[in-house]
Amino acid sequence: MSVDPEETVAEAVAVRAGKILRVGSNEEIDALAKSSAKVIDLGGRTLLPGFVDSHEHVMRRGLMMDWVNCRSPPVETIQDIIDGLASKAAGKPEGEWVVGSWFDETKLSDGRWPTRYDLDEASDRHPIYLGRAGGHTAVANSLALEATGITKDTPQPEGGHIGMDESGEPTGRLDEIAAMNMVRGRIPQPDAEETVRLMVENWSTIEEMLLSWGITTVHEAHIKAPEALAYQELDRVGRMRTRVGLMLDGMAPYKGYATGDLARQGLRTGFGWSDRLYVIGVKIGVDGAMGSLTASLREPYANDPENYGINRVTQEELTRETVELHGAGNRACIHAIGDWAIDIALNAVEEAVDSAPREDHRHRIEHAGYVRPDQLERMARLGVAVSASIGFCHPIGDSHIAALGEDRLCGYYPMKSFQEHGIVAGGNSDGFGENWPITGIAGCVTRRSSGGEYLCREQAISVMDAIRAYTVNGAFLEGTEDEKGSLKPGKLADMVVLDRDILTVDPLDIVNTRVLMTVVGGEVVYERDS
């Protein structure tokens, strides 16, 4: 499947010097082949352009190898979390930090959040920090709170929230980075040199995962200096098979410090070290996450009627940052999940575009988890593109149904509406689930959660359009749609082979699809053992 505008389906592809030479019938391509040509017979399997995942946090996984993985499955209960943390603590000296990650309370049979007291059961001799899936909320045990000085008298941080019980005592819950960093900032970190070394050392494991899922290009969201240095080292020594588009750091401390620095250094969207490593924009942000009930909404959460979420910046701060980015020729990649946050993001983009009109700026909304109809019109008018986290639909859609309620589900990652309004939407999973592009394509087509619930079937799109979201649309979001994203002569020979024809299988079977082979620049970089 070429994924060109004509939806061409062909039998064979000829590749030369890392680029597609021709697409056609077996007879046409055989006629081009010289005796020295390498011929790969796929036995009628489905060949697509390589997947472009437009929002992930990949490199930081290289620093998480020592963390306790509390992802569900296999974790089913809070006791499972306690046991995992306790096992890690048993192998560490007293007083050393224990860090866990990726718990999701909506998938625990207990039906509640873990608290400081649960984590105390794992160890009362080690400070413990447990991050929730999504990275916008955490829980700390009593020793960690004590080390940080968080008590019932601690004032709430700007742009974050410390959970308190009915008596006013901290529960251990920390919402958003401003609160999380009060504890996380106390965890000893490797120095810059060691951080880079660890990320470079662990890259092969991370990259193999990406390639096994057919990802030939990934957009790395929110890159700080150590990650950037690690990527540059990997690129310098030729160890990057995946193509990586970097969103530079404009996030912390959400006050616009980074943008001026980037402009002064001459770094801007489009700068590249090679065809494997380049800058696609600057990541800035507004709100939190839907699952942790910190994405900001105009109407309260269905399962927490007093809660409207958290905005981490003011309108003035985001507008100032966006105007400066736009004026310097950079692409703003704005994290905005709830409709309130999207309003703030669109206000900022509108002022930026009005201040210095520029066609085809391609400023992006990252995620766009709940979008109102009036916002769709505005996105289209402003020329905003979307990196939609439709990959959330299958693995964590059930928790989002609870958060939004049935009445708002047709605004949940509204892929059909994006299409109808001419808004280019790429797909991403932002680290949730497995087999990210396939899971996202399944979410686009079925709108079905892993629990069997549907999130507004009216927003489903065709399989071919779902493939576009993870190929040519993803390329459009980084400005390289003329170089990748479809199988056309002259484009990069980035391709993926699937074990089934996802155009013809039962849509509910798409999620079970596996990648058999991944090709980057004409080179086979992954083959499934079977």
Instruction: Name the band, by pLDDT with cuts 50, 70 and 90, for residue 156.
Output: very high
- Say how far apart CA 159 and CA 73 lie, in whole Å: 31
pLDDT in tens, 200-250: 999 999 999 999 999 999 999 988 888 889 999 999 999 999 999 999 888
Domains of the chain in sequence order: 1-47 (no CATH), 63-184 (3.10.310.70)
pLDDT in the model for residue 170? 97
Band of pLDDT at residue 268, cut at 50, 70 and 90: confident
Does residue 266 carry a pLDDT above 70?
no
pLDDT at 134 (0 to 100): 78
Residue-wise pLDDT for 351-385, tens only, equals 999 999 998 999 999 999 999 999 999 999 999 99
Do 511 and 463 touch, CB atoms closer than 8 A?
Answer: no
The average pLDDT across 17-45 equals 93
> In the prediction, which pLDDT does 488 show?
96
Strands, E assignment, 422-476: 425-427
Helix and strand totals (H; E) in the chain: 16, 21
DSSP 352-375: HHHHS--TT---EEEE--B--HHH
| pLDDT tens-place string over residues 421-441 | 999 999 999 988 788 999 999
- Asked whether residue 467 carries a pLDDT value surpassing 60, the answer given is yes
- 149-154 average pLDDT score: 96
Query: Chain-wide mean pLDDT for the chain?
Result: 94
Contacts of 168 (CB under 8 A, 6+ apart): 152
Q: What pLDDT is attached to residue 190?
A: 84
Please check whether residue 425 is in contact with residue 386, taking contact to mean a CB–CB distance below 8 angstroms: yes
Q: Decide if pLDDT at 260 tops 60.
A: no
User: What's the Cα-to-Cα distance from 482 to each of 76, 323, 418, 419, rounded to whole Å?
Assistant: 46, 28, 22, 20
pLDDT score for 257: 44
Do β-strands 523-527 and 68-69 pair in parallel, antiparallel, or remain unpaired?
A: unpaired
> Cα(472)–Cα(485) distance, rounded to whole angstroms?
4
Share of the chain above pLDDT 90, in %: 84
Q: Is 128 exposed, middle or buried (0-12, 13-18, 19+ CB in 10 A)?
A: buried
Would you place residue 470 in the very low, low, confident or very high pLDDT band (cuts 50, 70, 90)? very high
pTM of the complete model: 0.90
Dump pLDDT digits (tens) for 477-499.
999 999 999 999 999 999 999 99
Q: Please report the pLDDT score of residue 425 as a whole number.
A: 99
pLDDT in tens, 48-102: 999 999 999 998 888 887 899 998 989 999 999 999 999 999 999 999 999 999 8
Asked whether residue 461 carries a pLDDT value surpassing 70, the answer given is yes
Give pLDDT, residue 35: 83
Grade residue 333 by pLDDT with cuts at 50, 70 and 90: very high
pLDDT over threshold 90, residue 267:
no
